[in-house]
Amino acid sequence: MKIVFIIILAIAATVMLLFFALGMVSWSGEPPGLVDGVLAKCPDKPNCVCSEYGEDRAHYIDPLPFPPGGQADALPILKSVIEEMGGTVLAARDDYLAATFSSAIFRFVDDLEVRVDGARQQIHIRSASRVGYGDGGVNKRRVERLSELYTARFSAR
């Protein structure tokens, strides 16, 4: 019985070390940025969502609504909401914003990117984990919460 406990403890310690190592690896990455003027496609893993590619039903989420004040209001509102949610904004310009979020325990880093499409009056969003395969729906829930807060913020004006 004692041997079984030691083996289980050793396996648990190894798994914990692996997760900490993966968390550290995720710190060295960066958001993919725009690819030919649009957000990058999601890889073939369930840890990413993106509104840019409607044909990719496995990763698709709806784009965010355009604020009544137009493009000039979109990114300042999003930046404020992202920071309120605990994200760190890395880059912001007129039509693009990149931010990161980290998990509480292992410090896994996820990238969140926003592209304002003034021509279509849509705000495209992509949220993806830097490492690993699954995310337990964290990125999708993050985008849903961002959408709720963002819409409430410009609706209250």
Closest CA to 111 of 122, 95, 99, 94: 99
**Averaged pLDDT, 132-149:** 92
At 55-95, the pLDDT tens digits run 999 999 999 988 887 778 888 999 999 999 999 999 998 89
Residue 157 pLDDT exceeds 70: no
The share of the chain scoring above pLDDT 70, in percent, equals: 89
pLDDT computed for residue 23 by the predictor: 52
pTM, two decimal places: 0.82
- Total domains, the chain: 1
Residue 8 pLDDT exceeds 90: no
Q: Rounded to the nearest 10 degrees, what angle do helices 138-155 and 71-84 cross at?
A: 120
The share of the chain scoring above pLDDT 90, in percent, equals: 57
Tell me the pLDDT band of 15, cut-offs 50, 70 and 90: low
H or E element in which residue 91 lies = strand 88-93
pLDDT computed for residue 67 by the predictor: 84
The residue segments making up the domain with residue 17 are 2-155
Q: Residue 57 belongs to a domain with what CATH number? A: 3.30.310.80
At 17-53, the pLDDT tens digits run 665 655 555 567 778 889 999 999 999 999 999 999 9
